Structures are given as structure tokens and as C-alpha cells.
């Protein structure tokens, strides 16, 4: 018996060693082939071959066959990596946008160099350090404005037809991961914390916000953590945020991958701030990765009610690996599993359809798990909210106003003649202001197409192909006339939506991002529903 076991083990070890040898041979063979292909290309191709560009394309194509999160970054992109991981970069602190062949400032960040230099939303950037921005992309101009902290950059801008220059000293820009916290609810007795990113110190700032809210209102009845639109970030920050409301030593997430030595279990390590206060977490389709660790683990531990829409479904963990010549590679090394044991990865990148697209985990392969209190939850498709709030979609009018920057332009004009604005908690779009905006749109002759108009156009084309166009043309014209008449009432039909858009753009001009967030809370359906749940 023992002899048989020894023989079997020897065979298995032999097969394993042979498999490893075969794999090693395949790797060496294909690397040699790749090297030979590039060598012949460099020697024989009709034009000169840029080695950096060509190899980068090859690397990107190889990594694209894995998943969207495995990426290579050359030294020239290190500032972008820094922004992704740490939420900081060397620059002037302003968002920019492209409009035709020109670049405009869309939002200067409060208290940062561009803001301190007096630059405003709507300013057209004419040149950067003497180099014209005409025809350049936002990536080109952004790259030119970024640089080492402490260095100067000369921006020439145009405002109201007049050009002027500003010398702006770059600074290490650290984007706030908690842009706003305050109170919501009919009596303002529920705390609200907005978390944008899981960058360095995110947990520290969320904890500070929670402590300050409780200190200001000791009778606070609950707290809402808003993770909508938050694409994730550092896993350790997610664990420490969960720790604010659960005891020390609680398992939050476990990672499992190919390299066993890198597998780990992450437990809370600090004393919690409050293990009793009711907690609600807001998520949507853009809440991913670390956002799903927080919302999913608090759901698994029955410590919070999750409100909103199903999350993105990113259950993959990446590590940053140093590469030669100051480059780096971000590699997916494992999957994470939250306390119930489920992995919420929604897309299986190891399997592709006939078009080469990764497929979603089918319903038939989803597995049921249990929360600490015995509620059923499922893996394989993100975090399903406990309380679903239907997403709100923009109307055709709203899309047109955003795409054509009509509200942006109106806000720029409004700010020139109105030096102040009521506080975010008090400001509302009045009838007179809305009427003024409608007049502005009329002067600009806003045009847009609806889905109905698109279908009428298609119907006319199909009718022409089938020789029915003459017979139905009169009816089509009547439909178009009726539709055009209805469209004239869109500004009243969609007034509530347009008012919210206009309100947000005006508030960000006077009170920056925190003003926009605070101003939206009053009519935020997900926030209102979360308050209802916390009050039960």
C-alpha cells in the first residue's frame, strides 16, 4: 500500500515538473519569437520604427487580453499613476475641457494655485508657457500644466474678449477624498459623509468627519456614507472605514490569488467610534472595488442598510510592481472575498465570447451566501442594495444642455453680473431666474433631436426603400409638426431636472464642489430614502 502511494506521488511530481518545464519552454520560445519579429521589423520596415512607441503598443495589446485593470506605465506617465493611487499630483489645481479647437477652464479647485491666481470657469486657455493650445487636446494641455511642485507655469487666458497672463506656481495637489459632510433629514439630525475616492488617508478623513458630526450633534440619529460614483482605490482604507462602525478584530475582506504567499485576511485593527448608531451606505452602478468592500462587508455583517442601485462588480485586486527604467506595472494578483465568503466580481475575463468580449457571470453560476444574521446574499454580480432606488435618467433636453454647454455658458454669463449667491442650503432657482435662462436659450437657438425624431427619420428611409414614402409622407410631416410643437414645451415639462442642473452649476461657481454637493441633498431621492430607512 505504502509502495503504491509513493509511486503515485512520484508520478504526480514528475508530471508537475514536466508541466513546469513545458511552460518554461513555451515562454522562452515565444519571447525569442517576439524578439526576432521586432528585430526584423526594425531592420527591414520601410520607415523608421520608434522603439518606445512600438513596444508600448505590443505591451498594451498583451495586457488587454487579461483585464482592464492590468496596465503598464512608462516613466512619462508616473504623474498619472500618482493621481490614480494617491489622489495627488504636481499642478495648478483646475479641471479643463475641450470645446472645438480651444481649451477652457471648467472648474478651479478651491484654495489651489489656479483659484488663488484668479482664474475662473469659462476662461479660455490661449497658451501654456508660450505654447499655443489651439488644436491641442485636454490631455496635451493638462500634461503641459503639470510638473514638479514649486515650479512656475505661465498661462495666457482670455476672458470676455480680453487676454491676460498669470504666472502660477505649481503645488502638490491633493484632491480631497471627503469633499463634504453635514446633516440631512427633516430636522437635520442625520449625518451625511460624501467620499469621492479611497486614496491615502481616506479612512482618517471619514473618521474625522463622523467624529465632528457626533460632536456637534450628540443626539445624531444615524449616518449616511455616500459612495455613489466612487470607483475605489486602496483596500486598507476600505478596511479602516468599516472599522469606524464595527469592533476591532472583525474580518472585512480576504484576498486569494495564484501566489499563496500573497493571500491575506484583513481584519479591523482599531477601536471603533460607534457600533450602535444606524448606518446607511449609498451605492450606484459606478461604485466599485473598495466601495464594494465597504458596502458589501457592512451588509454581510448586518451593520448597515445599503441603498441605491447594484454596484459595478469589481472583485479584483491589483498590485503595483516596479519595472526597469522607472516604469511600473499594475497587475491583477487576486480576487477579494467579503465576510460572507462571496466574491462580487461580475465579469469573467478568463472567458470570452465570439467577438472576444469578456462575459458576465451567468445567473446559473451565482451562489447564495448568508449574512451574519442569516439573510441571503449572492456572489458574482456586484453588491445588490437592500433598498433599491430607481436611477434617474436625463431627458433629451438635459443631454443637449450638457453636451452643448448651454448651462455652463449661462453660469459664466450670470457670474459676471452677480458677485454673490445665496448659501447652498438656501439657494433655489426662482421663476425669474429660470425665465432668464429660457430667454438665453432662445437667443442661442438651442436645437436637439429626440429618439422619436430619430425613429421618424429611420421610418422615412425604410419607407423610401420599400416605395411607401409618397403614401405616408403627409402623415410623417404631421407627426414632425406635432413633435416640434411638443418640444417647445420641454423647458416646462422638464423644469425640475433643468433647475437641478442649473442650480448645481451656479453653486459650484460660488461655493466650489462642496456647494454643489450640499445644494443637491435637499432633493436627492437616495438620500431621502436612506433617511427613511434609518428612521425605522
* Pairing relationship of beta strands 222-226 and 279-283 according to DSSP bridges: parallel
pLDDT at 480: 85
The answer on pLDDT for 1 being more than 60 is no
Residues 322 and 449 in one domain: no
**Stretch among 384-393, 429-438, 479-488 having the lowest mean pLDDT:** 479-488
Q: Do residues 132 and 228 both lie within one domain?
A: no
The CATH number that applies at residue 302 is 3.90.226.10
pLDDT-based confidence at 447, cuts 50/70/90?
A: confident
The pLDDT tens digits for 127-155 are 999 999 999 999 999 989 998 889 999 99
What's the CA gap between 262 and 264, in Å, rounded? 6
pLDDT at 23 over 70: yes
pLDDT tens by residue, 2-16: 555 555 555 555 555
Residue 412 lies in a domain: yes
Band of the pLDDT at 18, cuts 50, 70, 90? low
306: β partners: 281
Q: Which residue has the cell 458576465?
A: 360
Q: Both 244 and 229 in a single domain?
A: yes
Are 214 and 274 contacting, i.e. CB atoms less than 8 angstroms apart? Answer: yes
Asked whether residue 69 is domain-assigned, the answer is no
User: Hey, what's the cell of 488?
Assistant: 417647445
What's the whole-number mean pLDDT along residues 337-358? 83
Q: Give the integer Cα–Cα distance in Å for 69 and 505.
A: 33
The residue written with cell numbers 482604507 in the block is: 237
Distance between CA atoms of residues 297 and 199, nearest Å = 19
pLDDT score at 3: 55
Task: Tell me: do 411 and 330 sit in the same domain.
Answer: no
**Position 284 in a domain:** yes
Q: Where are the beta strands (DSSP E) in 264-412?
A: 264-267, 279-283, 305-308, 316-322, 328-337, 347-352, 358-360, 368-370, 376-378, 387-388
Q: Which three cell numbers stand for residue 228?
A: 455613489
Residues 350 and 378 in one domain: yes
Q: Is 30 a domain residue?
A: no
Residue 25: the pLDDT is 80
pLDDT for res 281: 98
Residues above pLDDT 70, as percent of the chain: 93
Question: Does residue 4 belong to any structural domain of this protein?
Answer: no
Average pLDDT value for residue range 519-529? 96
Dihedral over alpha carbons 308, 314, 315, 319 (to 10 degrees):
-130
Domain that holds residue 101: 88-174
* Residue that is last in its domain, among 346, 369, 391: 391
Q: What confidence score (pLDDT) does residue 168 get?
A: 97
* Residue 223 sits in the same domain as residue 363: yes
The total number of structural domains that make up the chain: 3
User: Is the separation of the CB atoms in 298 and 206 below 8 Å?
Assistant: no
Window from 7-16, 106-115, 329-338, 523-532 with minimum mean pLDDT:
7-16
Residues 433 and 498 in one domain: yes
Q: What is the pLDDT of residue 17?
A: 57
The C-alpha atoms of residue 248 and residue 251 are separated, in whole angstroms, by 9
Query: Per the residue annotation, which of 289, 291, 311, 340 is the catalytic one?
Result: 289
CA distance 88 to 109: 13
Predicted confidence (pLDDT) at residue 117 exceeds the cutoff of 70: yes
In a domain, 60, yes or no: no
Task: 443-448: list long-range contacts, CB under 8 Å, 24+ apart.
Answer: 444/406, 444/409, 446/400, 446/401, 446/404, 446/406, 447/400, 448/396, 448/397, 448/399, 448/400, 448/404
- Read off the DSSP letter of residue 270: S
Q: How confident is the model at residue 295 (pLDDT cuts 50, 70, 90)?
A: very high
Catalytic residue among 300, 379, 513, 524: 300
What percent of the chain has pLDDT above 90?
A: 63
- Categorize the per-residue pLDDT at 258 as very low, low, confident or very high, splitting at 50, 70 and 90: confident
What does DSSP assign to residue 287?
-
Query: Averaged over 234-259, what is the pLDDT?
Result: 95
Q: Is 289 a catalytic residue?
A: yes
Are 351 and 213 contained in the same domain? Answer: yes
150 CB-near residues (< 8 Å, 6+ apart) = 169, 170, 171
Q: What is the mean pLDDT of residues 459-466?
A: 90
Catalytic status, residue 286? no
Task: Decide which of 299 and 365 is more confident.
Answer: 299
Domain end position, chosen among 331, 364, 391: 391
Q: How is the chain split among helix, strand and coil, in percent rounded to 5?
A: 45, 20, 35
**pLDDT for 416:** 93
Active site residue 300: yes
Residues 279 and 423 in one domain: no
CATH code (residue 150) = 2.30.42.10
Q: Are residues 132 and 259 in the same domain?
A: no
Instruction: Name the residue with higher pLDDT: 8 or 309.
Output: 309
Instruction: Identify the pLDDT of residue 8.
Output: 52
Same domain, 427 and 527: yes
| Mean pLDDT of the 82-91 span | 68
Higher pLDDT, 485 or 307: 307
Rounded Cα distance, 342 and 250, in Å = 16
Other beta carbons within 10 Å of 521? 20
The yes-or-no verdict on residue 57 having pLDDT over 80 is yes
Distance CA 245, CA 267 (A): 13
- From CA 515, how far away is CA 497, in angstroms rounded? 18
C-alpha cell at 19: 508541466
pLDDT band at 46 (very low <50, low <70, confident <90, very high): confident
In b/e form, how buried is each residue of 65-83, taking b as 16+ CB within 10 angstroms?
A: eebeebbbbeeebebebeb
Last residue of a domain, one of 360, 391, 422: 391
| 200-244 per-position pLDDT tens digit | 999 999 999 999 999 999 999 999 999 999 999 899 999 999 999
29 part of a folded domain: no
Place of cell 461655493: 511
Choosing from 194, 314, 330, 487, which is the catalytic residue?
Answer: 314
pLDDT over threshold 90, residue 524 = yes
Same domain, 463 and 356: no
Q: What is the mean pLDDT of residues 70-94?
A: 76
Amino acid at each position: 500500500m505504502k509502495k503504491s502511494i509513493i509511486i503515485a506521488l512520484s508520478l504526480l511530481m514528475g508530471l508537475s515538473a514536466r508541466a513546469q518545464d513545458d511552460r518554461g519552454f513555451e515562454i522562452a520560445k515565444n519571447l525569442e519569437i517576439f524578439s526576432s519579429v521586432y528585430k526584423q521589423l526594425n531592420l527591414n520596415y520601410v520607415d523608421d520604427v520608434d522603439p518606445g512607441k512600438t513596444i508600448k503598443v505590443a505591451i498594451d495589446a498583451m495586457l488587454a487580453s487579461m483585464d482592464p485593470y492590468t496596465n503598464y506605465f512608462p516613466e512619462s506617465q508616473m504623474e498619472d499613476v500618482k493621481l490614480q493611487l494617491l489622489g495627488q499630483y504636481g499642478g495648478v489645481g483646475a479641471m479643463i475641457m475641450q470645446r472645438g479647437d480651444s481649451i477652457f477652464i471648467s472648474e478651479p479647485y478651491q484654495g489651489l494655485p489656479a483659484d488663488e491666481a484668479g482664474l475662473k470657469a469659462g476662461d479660455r486657455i490661449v497658451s501654456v508657457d508660450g505654447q499655443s493650445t489651439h488644436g491641442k487636446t485636454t490631455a496635451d494641455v493638462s500634461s503641459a500644466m503639470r510638473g514638479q511642485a514649486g515650479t512656475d507655469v505661465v498661462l495666457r487666458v482670455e476672458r470676455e474678449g480680453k487676454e491676460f497672463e498669470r504666472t502660477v506656481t505649481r503645488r502638490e495637489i491633493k484632491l480631497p477624498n471627503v469633499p463634504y459632510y453635514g446633516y440631512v433629514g427633516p430636522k437635520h439630525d442625520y449625518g451625511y459623509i460624501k467620499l469621492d475616492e479611497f486614496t491615502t488617508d481616506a479612512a482618517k478623513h471619514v473618521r474625522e468627519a463622523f467624529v465632528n458630526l457626533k460632536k456637534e450633534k450628540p443626539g445624531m440619529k444615524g449616518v449616511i456614507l455616500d459612495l455613489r460614483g466612487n470607483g475605489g482605490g486602496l483596500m486598507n482604507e476600505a478596511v479602516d472605514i468599516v472599522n469606524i462602525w464595527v469592533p476591532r478584530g472583525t474580518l472585512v475582506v480576504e484576498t486569494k490569488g495564484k501566489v499563496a504567499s500573497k493571500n491575506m485576511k484583513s481584519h479591523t485593527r482599531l477601536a471603533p467610534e460607534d457600533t450602535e448608531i444606524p448606518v446607511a451606505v449609498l451605492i450606484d452602478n459606478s461604485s466599485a472595488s473598495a466601495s464594494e468592500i465597504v458596502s458589501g462587508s457592512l451588509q454581510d455583517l448586518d451593520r448597515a442598510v445599503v441603498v441605491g442601485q447594484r454596484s459595478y462588480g469589481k472583485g479584483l485586486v491589483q498590485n503595483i510592481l516596479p519595472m526597469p527604467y522607472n516604469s511600473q506595472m499594475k497587475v491583477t494578483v487576486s480576487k477579494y472575498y467579503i465576510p460572507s465568503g462571496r466574491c462580487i466580481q461580475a465579469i469573467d475575463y478568463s472567458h470570452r465570447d465570439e467577438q472576444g468580449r469578456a462575459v458576465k457571470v451567468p445567473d446559473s453560476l451565482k451562489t447564495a451566501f448568508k449574512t451574519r444574521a442569516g439573510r441571503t446574499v449572492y456572489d458574482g454580480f456586484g453588491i445588490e442594495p437592500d433598498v433599491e432606488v430607481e436611477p434617474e435618467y436625463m431627458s433629451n433636453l438635459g443631454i443637449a444642455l450638457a453636451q452643448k454647454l448651454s448651462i455652463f455658458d449661462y453660469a459664466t454669463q450670470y457670474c459676471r453680473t452677480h458677485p454673490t449667491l445665496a448659501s447652498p442650503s438656501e439657494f433655489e432657482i426662482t421663476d425669474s431666474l429660470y425665465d432668464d435662462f429660457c430667454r438665453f436659450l432662445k437667443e442661442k437657438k438651442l436645437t436637439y433631436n429626440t429618439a422619436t425624431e430619430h425613429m421618424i427619420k429611420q421610418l422615412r428611409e425604410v419607407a423610401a426603400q420599400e416605395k411607401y414614402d409618397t403614401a405616408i409622407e403627409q402623415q410623417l410631416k404631421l407627426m414632425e409638426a406635432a413633435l416640434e410643437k411638443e418640444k417647445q414645451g420641454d423647458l416646462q415639462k422638464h423644469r425640475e431636472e433643468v433647475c437641478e442642473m442649473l442650480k448645481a452649476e451656479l453653486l459650484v461657481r460660488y461655493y466650489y464642489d462642496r456647494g454643489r454637493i450640499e445644494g443637491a441633498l435637499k432633493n436627492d431621492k437616495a438620500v431621502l430614502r436612506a433617511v427613511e430607512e434609518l428612521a425605522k
